[in-house]
Structure 1
Amino acid sequence: MVHILKRARNLRQLLWIRNGPGAIQLPKEVTKIHLEFHPKLIGSAFRGARHFWHEMMPRMKYRNPTVPMSVTRHKDPNGGAYLHIYTSTATPASSQTTNPPGTANASPEASNTLTPDTTEPTHTFEIKTLHESEILDLLVEKTGAVVLRTPPEEAQEMEEFKEFEVRAEKDRIEVRERLLRERREAQLLKLARGEVPNAA
């Protein structure tokens, strides 16, 4: 029984990382994705960046194992949050593309021969107040990534897992309530028999 539950958990994790927001296929020109944000929530600031990192980047990495994806968590609560996209070919800058404070524009030579450690990103976006879905839409739009749809059979399996989890949670609550009730009844029985001394 334990092995069955373990296999079920592994299958659920596999389905989760294969499907859902962030399951995209990046074009071969994308050489690196880097995320930068403050680790703590300050109002609604940084919430989208944190959720994007936690929920969507694992799926992106699973679908694009050869593309380095990194995260920097800075300590300035007043600082920004940025999505950096590196590509191996020069891409014309759009009106939405911005550079973080103190960052110089990339040279044409750097854009054509990308070295992520020393070259400026092709695109940098301020994402401090964006929702995680908006960050993903921005990434897809600027890179031309392909959004991968969930196969019908896997969608059905995911739905079955959701139903199983709902039933399992209901069962856990019922078991917990029954155990608490039995303990209370046992305690009352001991009190009635005088087996439990009164507190001094």
Structure 2
Amino acid sequence: MVNIVKRMRKLRELLWIRVGPGALLLPKEVSKITLEFNKHINGGHRGARKFWREMLPRIKYRNPSVPISVMRHSNDSGPAKLCIYTKSASAPNPSQSSISTPPSATPNPRNTATPDTTAPAFTIDMKMIPESQILEELIEKTGATIIEPSEQELQEMKDIADFKVRSEGDRVQVREHLMKQRREEELLRLARGEITATA
């Protein structure tokens, strides 16, 4: 069984998903988000990939009821776009807007009878722009609220950073101690004639 202290440390390190760039609360009007970009960074898709890897988990964590779909292609010259759908854009017909369906955090498009043909309310072209600018445009277009870390979360982040610095120092010290022991053992074996000196 894993040591309880190690487990607690790992759980505290999951703090990265709660705070940082991308920790924001989307307005209730946002009904869906889709991303499309290349699997590799070639062709200006670096910012889109970093946004997907570093910021999208925080957005999903803070907005679990908003479905987010990601489509990755292999075409370097293909699109890199972020589409934001809103409820007003998805229900232009007043007779259809009265019919309410329960929200689902994980929709399965294969089970739907008709494909979703609604146009996105906002589209952000992510090609050739850094992930921080993508996030700024998302906040500006949706009016999302940035969630600031609490005092306790800031203290936990400081503790984790201090622990990592201390643990790196401990690793260096243990490595030096082991190397010193190995050198002494080698010198003893050399003195006993068990091994020959190498130039």
**TM bucket by the smaller chain?**
0.7 to 0.9
- Partner in structure 1 of residue 74 of structure 2: 75
- Partner in structure 1 of residue 20 of structure 2: 20
Q: CA deviation at 1:30?
A: 0.8
In the superposition, the TM-score normalised over structure 2's length comes to 0.80
Q: CA deviation at 1:33?
A: 1.3
- Partner in structure 1 of residue 62 of structure 2: 63
CA distance in 1, matches of 2:184, 2:70: 54
Instruction: Give a deviation string over 1:124-143, Cα, whole Å, max 9, x none.
Output: 22111111111111111111
- Partner in structure 1 of residue 194 of structure 2: 195
Q: CA deviation at 1:32?
A: 1.2
With 21-30 and 115-124 compared, the bigger mean Cα shift is at 115-124
With 18-27 and 115-124 compared, the bigger mean Cα shift is at 115-124
- Partner in structure 2 of residue 118 of structure 1: 116
For residue 6 of structure 1, give the secondary structure of its aligned residue in structure 2.
helix
CA distance in 2, matches of 1:153, 1:35: 33
- Partner in structure 1 of residue 11 of structure 2: 10
Query: Identity, % of aligned pairs?
Result: 49
Where does 1:78-93 land on structure 2 (aligned, <5 Å)? 78-90=77-89
Give structure 2 stretches of 5+ with no counterpart.
98-106, 110-114
* 1:47 and 2:46 are equivalent in the alignment: yes
Q: CA deviation at 1:185?
A: 2.6
Aligned residues: 179
Instruction: Give a deviation string over 1:2-37, Cα, whole Å, max 9, x none.
Output: 201211210221x21111110100111111111111
CA distance in 2, matches of 1:32, 1:53: 15
Where does 1:29-178 land on structure 2 (aligned, <5 Å)? 29-42=29-42, 45-90=44-89, 117-119=115-117, 120-178=119-177
Give structure 1 stretches of 5+ with no counterpart.
91-105
CA distance in 1, matches of 2:68, 2:168: 35
Aligned AA (1:34):
T
Aligned AA (2:31):
T
Q: CA deviation at 1:53?
A: 0.8
Change (3 A) 1:181 1:41: farther
RMSD: 2.5
CA distance in 2, matches of 1:178, 1:42: 45
For residue 89 of structure 1, give the secondary structure of its aligned residue in structure 2.
helix
Q: CA deviation at 1:72?
A: 1.4
Q: CA deviation at 1:58?
A: 0.8
Instruction: Give a deviation string over 1:52-80, Cα, whole Å, max 9, x none.
Output: 11111111111000111121111011223
Q: CA deviation at 1:168?
A: 0.8
